[in-house]
Amino acid sequence: MRHAQSQNYSRALFLHESAHLDASVSDPGTLLGVLHACIESKGLDQGRELHQKIVECAYEEHPSFCSLLVQLYAKCGILEDAERCFLQVERRSLEAWNCLIGLYDYHGRGGEAIQLSQRMCQECLMWNDTTMVSVLCVCTSKHDLVLGKHVHARIGCSTAQHDIIIGTALVNMYGKIGDIDDAQIIFDNMHIRNVVSWSSIIALCTKHGRYKVALQSFETMLQEGVLPNTFTFVSIISTCASQDLSKIGKMFHGRLIGTELEKHPYMANALTNMYGKSGNLNEAESVFNTSYKKDTYSWNMILAAYAEHGKCMDAIKYFHEMMDEGTLPDSSTFVYLLSACANKLVLVDGMNMHMWVTLMGLETDIAVSNTLLNMYGKCNALDVANHLLNDMPEKDVVSWNTLISGHAHNGLGKEAFSIFQQMIQEGMLPNQVTYTCLLDAFKSQDMLAAGIYIHTCAISQLNVVITSALVNMYGKCGSFQRALKVFHGRIVQNVLLWNAMFAVCNQHERGKEALNLFAKMHKDEVIPDNFTFSNILSSCASEEAFNTGKEVHALAIEYGFVQDSVVATALVNMYGKCGSYADALGVFNLVHDRDVILWTSIINVSSENGDGKETIRLLHQMQEAGITPNHITFLSALSACSHSGLLNEGRDCFTSMQQDYSILPTADHYICMIDLLARSGSLTEAEKLMNNMPFQASYVSWTTLLGACKNENDLERGERVGKHLISLYPEKPSAYVVLSQIYTAAGREDDAEALIAQMKERTGITSEINQFQMNAIRKKKLLFLE
DNA sequence: CTAGGGTTAG
């Protein structure tokens, strides 16, 4: 069924249908009327039938018919037919010209659109308002500012100066390809503005980072009595999204709840994005669900919300849901997913996504390839990353930077440097990010020379980030003086540079120097941030400057960082190092939003304070607060248990971390646990754990176990462990000593004596301690003889 | 005449 929407043409359409039945109807008036109706309703099939009829009646070359046919095909987006009809006659209506200009632009053929507009001038055809607007649109899409300004000049002397549509087109032209200030001036000079003009200026302000002006414009628009539409709300919501102004955005959203606007796909997507960015995942999901039409973009927004907030698995779940619903992922989908996999270091899921990328034929997309490179790099699959880069048909500077950064993250400075050299060889120009990534890869003395070389390469384009990377690099590569020199030679004042220098001072145990610089920073009127305080507080800790620490604490309160978890963590650690658990706990208790790092710090401080029961209490409190402990948290807890001999609590921790949190114990966890078991006399369990753990038992754990055997007078195990330890480390004396003590205690003085002799022979040690040991054995021997 | 985002860096 084909119906004209406009009632004006319904009679013509009715006539057309009669005509279809009766081939004899062919009067031009009726046919023109029907053609108008087809244009209005974009009725292509009907239009084609009519075109046939017009040809049969030989009206085809009549200017009116021809112009209308151009309009019909233009409206339906059929460029070839519109073009053919246009070329068929000499004289066309102005609308036909305008339509074809617009159509060329729509098909990305702006050059032909401009040629057409110039032909109009040659043929002495006056442009009307629509022509002006069409040409302005072409200028915008072709980024032709020169022509745009010419058109602007032409408008300036025409009568159309104050037209809303032309004005808005000009605002958009300047806003998108020219100076936003020009756009704003034209907008301000418009006598009348409608919702389209307002929506345009708001969107443009956001695009140029003028968020405040965007928000103010929205208010002014309301004051002037113009009602916002979806375009306006979409723009204002995305302003809020990009500026993390979700509180204001929520207010705007409030006005939309329950209206049709809220369910509009563009609106729902913008809202999902805003809530997603601010981490309000529940709200994001609820808006996502209200949308009445979900496209790839919508799924990308909800998936990105989870991906960007560390919920990689949820993001992957949405990916599968999306495909189950028949929505195809695009390159952005994979960029979000792969970047989540990279951040979470989940190589297996990342590789699975790689498979999907290949299945979807998106492996040639450079953004996707770069994210793949990043994923493999971050997950330490550097061979794969290297192969991937070599196989990429198109590489940009981001590809190289990503690969360098991947090596940097895995501590491979030499490799990063050779990738840089390869990059230069292939003619790729490095940028500031390249230098930052590279400098970040140099972390030890042996990379100092490479660091100095990169310093000379980057010298002409130093920015804040590179400069602080240089300070950091020199610090890590052991040259405090060079770090200081770069810092003093800084061209711009920036808190990041100060923070980098403070960190270097701390690495080099120059806490006093950091404190002096901190005073200088105050004089230079550079505002410290939370990281400044974090650094300075650790300077206090390393200098054991308890009173200075208290002063810095007071200053941090003055700057309003009481609730800041970074500062609070530093304070907890500082008080911990200074031995004041009470002060540390006081700071901790004041913070409302405690993250895993702050919790882990207080747990660690309490553990070092020696009260194991308190540590376990804190751990349980943390779990009740819904914060997930990590492997470091458990290490502190286990260490506390070990020091306080809390065997059951320690066993619980060790089980819970694996069963409840899927954390694989590291060698350190095993050492703590073995230590705890050994000290508590559970030697069988300790030995079993040591033999079953997925690591080579360290010298320390064997020694601990041997020591425990001595304490428990466990001769059989002691002999086994001691001999094993000696076979592993024949050059280390302590196993000989401890085992000999065990032999002595068991009355096997001869074996003890032989062992010490063996030790002397193998290690060449004849220290006083060993002499003392020999004497002890002899004494015991004598006692026994008596 | 107007609207929705992503990879690398501190």
Q: Nearest nt (C1') to A274 (CA)?
A: B4
Please, which contacts does A342-347 make with residues 24 or more away whose CB atoms are closer than 8 Å?
A342/A371, A342/A374, A342/A375, A342/A377, A342/A378, A342/A379, A343/A310, A343/A312, A343/A378, A344/A310, A344/A312, A345/A378, A345/A379, A346/A312, A346/A379, A347/A375, A347/A376, A347/A379, A347/A380, A347/A381
| Protein-to-nucleotide distance from the CA of A465 to the C1' of B10, whole angstroms | 6
What does the alpha-carbon distance between residue A39 and residue A162 come to, in Å, rounded to a whole number?
Answer: 29
> Gap from A527 CA to B2 C1', in Å?
41
C-alpha–C-alpha distance, residues A518 and A565, integer Å = 21
Task: Identify nearest nucleotide to residue A336 by CA to C1′ distance.
Answer: B6
The tokens of A343 are what?
Answer: 């951040």
In this predicted structure, the answer to whether residue A233 has a pLDDT above a threshold of 70 is yes
Q: How far apart are CA A301 and CA A284, in angstroms?
A: 9
Nearest nt to the CA of A166 via C1' is: B1
Q: How many Å apart are A280 CA and B10 C1'?
A: 26
Task: Judge contact between A207 and A236, C-beta under 8 A.
Answer: no
Please name the amino acid found at residue A172. Answer: N
Between the alpha carbon of residue A221 and those of residues A197, A650, A728, the distances in Å are 10, 65, 81
Nearest-CA residue relative to C1' of B5? A332
Residue A783 is predicted with a pLDDT of 53
pLDDT for res A777: 64
A699 vs A765, more confident = A699
Cβ–Cβ under 8 Å, residues A766 and A733: no
A484 CA → B5 C1’, Å: 41
Give yes or no for residue A484 having a pLDDT over 90: yes
Q: State, as a whole number of angstroms, the distance between the CA of A196 and the C1' of B3.
A: 11
When pLDDT is cut at 50, 70 and 90, the band that residue A785 belongs to is very low
Q: Mean of the pLDDT values across residues A134-160?
A: 87
- Tell whether the model's pLDDT for residue A786 goes beyond 70: no
Question: Cβ-count burial of A681 within 10 angstroms (0-12 exposed, 13-18 middle, 19+ buried)?
Answer: middle
Residue nearest to nucleotide B6 (CA to C1'): A332
d(CA A635, CA A8): 81
Give residue-wise pLDDT tens across range A73-114.
988 889 999 999 999 888 889 999 999 999 999 998 999 999
Nucleotide nearest to A242 (CA to C1'): B5
Average pLDDT estimate for A574-597:
90
The structure tokens listed for A388 are 């991937």
Distance CA A685 to C1' B3 in A: 66
Residue A332 has pLDDT above 60, yes or no: yes
d(CA A438, CA A432): 10
pLDDT greater than 70 at residue A747: yes
Q: What is the spatial distance, in angstroms and rounded to an integer, between the CA atom of A371 and the C1' atom of B7?
A: 5
Q: In the prediction, which pLDDT does A780 show? A: 63
pLDDT at A438 over 90: yes
Task: Report the distance from CA of residue A137 to the C1' of nucleotide B1 in Å, as an integer.
Answer: 9
Nearest nt to the A373 alpha carbon by C1': B7
Query: Using the CA of A102, which nucleotide's C1' is the nearest one?
Result: B1
Task: For chain A, give the longest Cα–Cα distance.
Answer: 142
Q: Which of A30-34, A176-180, A267-271, A740-744 has the lowest mean pLDDT?
A: A30-34
Q: Cβ of A352: how many Cβ atoms within 10 Å? A: 14
Residue with tokens 């990916």: A319
**Count of beta carbons in the 10 Å neighbourhood of residue A610:** 12
Closest CA to A198 of A160, A178, A176, A224: A224
Q: How far is CA A561 from CA A310, A565, A571, A591, in A?
A: 25, 8, 11, 10
Percent of chain A residues past pLDDT 90, beyond the cut: 61
Question: CA of A674 vs C1' of B10, distance in Å?
Answer: 40
Complete DSSP assignment for A206-273 = HHTT-HHHHHHHHHHHHHTTPPP-HHHHHHHHHHHHHTT-HHHHHHHHHHHTTSHHHHSHHHHHHHHH
HSE value, Cβ hemisphere, 13 Å, CA-based, for A651: 9
- Whole-number pLDDT of residue A543: 58
- Which nucleotide C1' is nearest A398 CA? B8
Strand B nucleotides where any atom sits below 7 Å of a protein CB: 1-10
Cβ-proximal residues to A523 (8 Å cutoff; 6+ apart), any chain: none
- Tell me: pLDDT of A464 over 70: yes
CA A411 to chain centre: 21
In whole angstroms, B9 C1' to A458 CA is 14
Flag whether pLDDT at A9 surpasses 90.
no
Please give the backbone phi and psi of residue A781, each rounded to the nearest 5 degrees, phi first.
-60, -45
- Cα A238 from chain centroid? 18
CA atoms within 13 A on the CB side of A540: 25
Mean pLDDT score, A248-256: 91
Q: Which two tokens stand for residue A38?
A: 């087809």
Axis crossing angle, helix A511-523 with helix A495-507, rounded to the nearest 10? 160
**CA–C1' gap, A242 and B3, in angstroms:** 15
pLDDT of A556 above 80: yes
Q: pLDDT tens, A593-619? A: 898 999 999 999 999 998 899 999 999
Taking 90 as the threshold, does the pLDDT of residue A39 lie above it? no
Interhelix angle A145-156/A164-177, rounded to 10 degrees, is 150
Cα A444–Cα A665–Cα A615 angle in degrees, nearest 5 = 95
Q: What gap in Å lies between CA A725 and CA A383, rounded to an integer?
A: 37
- Please tell me which residue, A266 or A492, carries the higher pLDDT value: A266
Let me know if A259 is exposed, middle or buried by CB neighbors in 10 A (0-12, 13-18, 19+).
Answer: exposed
Q: How many Å apart are A195 CA and B1 C1'?
A: 10
Q: What is the mean pLDDT of residues A757-764?
A: 81
CA A238 → C1' B10, Å? 26
Q: What confidence score (pLDDT) does residue A159 get?
A: 53
Q: What is the 3-state secondary structure (H, E, C) of A453-473?
A: HHHHHHHHHCCHHHHHHHHHH
Query: How does pLDDT run across A112-128, given as a tens digit for each residue?
Result: 999 999 999 999 999 98
Least confident range of A187-191, A671-675, A751-755, A765-769: A765-769
Q: Are A180 and A200 in contact (CB under 8 A)?
A: no
Closest CA to A190 of A166, A208, A223, A174: A166
pLDDT for res A96: 92
Please report which residue ranges of A459-545 form alpha helices under DSSP H: 464-476, 480-488, 495-507, 511-523, 530-542
Length of chain A: 786
What pLDDT score does A89 carry? 87
- Nearest nucleotide (CA of A202 to C1'): B2
Q: What average pLDDT does the structure give for chain A?
A: 89
* d(CA A398, C1' B7) / Å: 8
C-alpha dihedral sign at A543, A548, A550, A555: negative
Nucleotide at minimal C1' distance from the A234 CA: B3
Burial class (CB in 10 A: 0-12, 13-18, 19+), A525: exposed
CA of A412 to C1' of B2 (A): 50
pLDDT band at A712 (very low <50, low <70, confident <90, very high): confident
Q: How far is the CA of A173 from the C1' of B1 (A)?
A: 10
Are A732 and A699 in contact, with CB atoms under 8 Å apart? yes
CA→C1' distance for A358 and B7 (Å):
17
User: Nearest residue (Cα to C1') for B10?
Assistant: A465
Share of chain A above pLDDT 70, in %: 93
Q: Are A335 and A358 in contact (CB under 8 A)?
A: no
> Tokens representing A58?
């030989």
From the alpha carbon of A235, which nucleotide's C1' atom is closest? B3
pLDDT at position A13, please?
A: 56
Question: Which nucleotide, over all strands, has the C1' atom closest to the CA of A370?
Answer: B7
Single out the residue of A594, A562, A587, A582 nearest to residue A572, CA to CA.
A587
Closest nucleotide C1' to the C-alpha of A399? B8
Q: Which nucleotide is nearest to A404 (CA to C1')?
A: B8
* 3-class DSSP assignment, residue A179: coil
Question: Can you tell me the distance from the alpha carbon of A133 to that of A196, in angstroms, rounded to the nearest whole number?
Answer: 14
Q: Residue A333 and residue A371: Cα distance in Å, rounded?
A: 11
Q: Where are the alpha helices (DSSP H) in A660-714?
A: 667-679, 683-692, 699-711
The C-alpha atoms of residue A612 and residue A547 are separated, in whole angstroms, by 28
Residues 6+ apart with CB under 8 A from A638: A650, A653, A654, A669, A672, A673, A676
pLDDT confidence band for A176 (50 / 70 / 90): very high
**CA nearest to nucleotide B3 C1': residue:** A231
Interior/surface letters A210-244, b for 16+ CB within 10 angstroms, e for the rest: bbebbbebbeebeeeebebebbbbbbbbbbbbbbe
Q: Which of A774, A706, A764 is nearest to A734 (CA)?
A: A706
Structure confidence at residue A19 (pLDDT): 47
Q: Determine the protein residue whose CA lies at the shortest distance from the C1' of B9.
A: A433
